[in-house]
Structure 1
Amino acid sequence: MTRFIVIAGYLVIVAVAICCEIYAQHRPNKFAPIGDMLEHVMTSRTTRVSVIAAWWWFGWHFAFADTVQLEL
């Protein structure tokens, strides 16, 4: 049951992100598209290093870390 809730939560986040991007493409003066936002954010070296570190952390924990094995 918990697994279903987590997967549903991630799907809701993805759906909201897609809706926000579609809205931003139609009204870029009210809501920045992802490409414009990333272009602005990535101008700082500190931010680029932080983004790379965050992606590395997520990748390590989701791809290589041991998962919890539950005994049923």
Structure 2
Amino acid sequence: MLLSIGYFGLCAALLVVATWRIRLRHPEATVTELFDRLLDDRAVRIAVIVIWWWLGWHFLAGATL
């Protein structure tokens, strides 16, 4: 479980870095424009889906055992 949390933290950190890099290139961009530019990349869209799946699987799904 600790490894999963570490991977989630890594993904969150990478999202922050990607947002920061876009913000440096386009300082006039709004938050909505930043997310639009981030989600233009297919790899980022897949990463967002995987992160949401992981959150749902580990935290939002009910315990079945």
Q: Which has the larger radius of gyration?
A: 1
Higher helix share: 2
